[in-house]
Structure 1
């Protein structure tokens, strides 16, 4: 079986940044059929306090975070929403969040929100400014002033450096539903949540239990479009790194029998030489057309490099975009 093309980089070169949003893509498939892809939503819709705290903890202290406190019944909120979305599309070196004050009141209370819309500006987790009311000019001015000029990596026509090999990609960790993370055949003291969930911290790793196989299921809070998967293994333990992987989308209750028999959305097979040259950090580029409207991603680790009964994973990250609305299902073909 032919394997997919892989892009592999050293662990020292792994970093992330925003992906430039697009409004619509039509991909021709065969004769007159087209696949219609929903527009991207570059801001993050906050569903719970835990997600909000995770976003702040994973954002650098120098980066501006803008929070739009709104409510569905608020007319001015709806009026300024297109302005906020345009800013989130253009000011790519800032992080834009939306918080529905009725759904997540704890965050609104934290910032003493008394009127909607209210825009709060943070750096390093600290509030540095605020704007009340639907004022497009004032909002634009504050965002541009507080965000500052874009770093060189966002400049048009800038040359990519060896430290920005994931430039143009956005980590989807903030929209992972960490409460519903699941991994079958993990050992009790080295779990998936230890490297990807609320318990994640440096030095943790995921390890298999009875044999080398793992079945990881990662659910999202919103439908996503996946572009790349990064898997990291300790360079000194490369014989325990995954070798053959099968990916499935939108099967939140997938078990080992189904993973063995279902046709995967995409499949990869790595060699020990590839993993060694990448110093344990491997980026797998996904077939974009297949990874649309993803509500959950399942990663079936079939085997490892050394044929050992233990598989080890030290880090996982997913890159892509949050999709605006739509169901968590496959693309639909639209007639011309």
Structure 2
């Protein structure tokens, strides 16, 4: 396979592009749509190569739009440079223009949990699936009964922050995704002393449930989290057939392991895959003249 330097794979044609996207699995794929005559493309090329070295578990591809016109058209590229980001055969973002800082910020955003992970199952711990954190619409997510000092965002980071309930042990998390996903399992980490125990899961609710409704409604699935799950971060399998078309989840944490006054969640992750994947054979050519970005 032809490569630029040691890390960037140079795409030969549409079939080669399709093969690379599909073969990357759940790894982040960063594609540079470029042209030899494009000044900004040539200026940012060394930065792109440096990033391919700095983030070795991502796949970096370079597409010459003149050589691979079909691929450029299928991906809707009309100005250079354009960078498109994929996870699990799905477009997750794009960046147009020679912006070194913006480019690395997006690489870091989607590379995220891959750092330090060399296992075959990828960052999710489940073969064939990925951490769906990149698909969370955080503006639409909310938590009922969260502490002012330890809010929902604390459970989405890998640092020392955490989520904790406020006036009693119960919590309701309303999770919204920016595209439809399939959810295979959930990872929940927390202390054995006051980590969550019994959880009711609701799906595709029109609005956030209150505690009375969460108590009375029939859930899609109930979970009982074990101390081992909390300590080791084991993926807790869902009834996968029921979670094939998820736009939002509501999780009602009913209690904790020891009956403590508050419930604490250090980390929560949703493992699965997006419903809509990149199937290049289904794409239609996009009309329009390719031109340089200004």
Relative to the length of structure 1, the TM-score reads 0.52
Cα RMSD between the aligned structures?
3.9
1:240 aligns with 2:194: yes
Q: Where does residue 14 of structure 1 map in the other structure?
A: none
Q: Deviations over 1:201-222 (max 9, x none)?
A: 5000100001100000111111
Equivalent residues of 1:65, 1:95 under 8 A apart? no
Is 1:311 paired with 2:278?
no
Structure 2 partner of 1:51: none
Structure 1 residue 137 displacement after superposition: 11
Contact 2:188 2:229 in 1 (8 A): no
Partner of 1:269: 224
Tell me the alpha carbon deviations over residues 100-145 of structure 1, each in whole angstroms, 9 at most, x when there is no partner. xxxxxxxxxxx9579xxxxx77523699774231645998xxxxxx
Q: Residues 265 and 206 of structure 1: is their aligned pair in 2 closer, same or farther, counting only changes over 3 Å?
A: same
Q: Secondary structure at the match of 2:192?
A: helix
Deviation at 1:90, TM superposition (A): 1.8
Shift of 1:248: 1.0
Matched, 1:302 2:254: yes
Distance 1:245 1:94, change over 3 A: closer
**Structure 1 residue ranges without an equivalent (≥5):** 1-63, 67-78, 100-110, 115-119, 140-150, 155-159, 326-336
Shift of 1:282: 3.7
- 5 Å-filtered alignment, 1:172-183, equals 172-183=132-143
Render the CA deviation track for 1:139-162: whole Å, top value 9, x for unaligned. Answer: 8xxxxxxxxxxx9955xxxxx9xx
- Aligned 8 A contact 2:195 2:256 in 1: yes
Contact 1:88 1:95 in 2 (8 A): no
Matched, 1:131 2:91: no
State how far apart, in whole Å, the 1-side matches of 2:210 and 2:30 are: 35
Indicate whether 1:291 and 2:243 are aligned. Answer: yes
- Measured after TM superposition, the shift of residue 294 of structure 1 is 0.6
Establish whether residue 230 from structure 1 lines up as the match of residue 187 from structure 2: yes
- Kindly tell me the number of residue pairs found equivalent between the two proteins: 207
Judging changes above 3 Å, is the alpha-carbon distance between structure 1 residues 276 and 323 closer, same or farther for their aligned structure 2 residues? closer
Alignment of 1:180-191 (within 5 A): 180-191=140-151
Structure number with higher relative contact order (C-alpha < 8 Å, ≥ 6 residues apart): 1
Do the aligned partners of residues 289 and 85 (structure 1) sit closer, same or farther apart at CA in structure 2, a change above 3 Å counting?
Answer: farther
Structure 1 residues 43-58: aligned runs within 5 Å: none
Contact in 1 for aligned 2:201/2:250 (Cα 8 Å): yes
1:220 and 2:177 aligned: yes
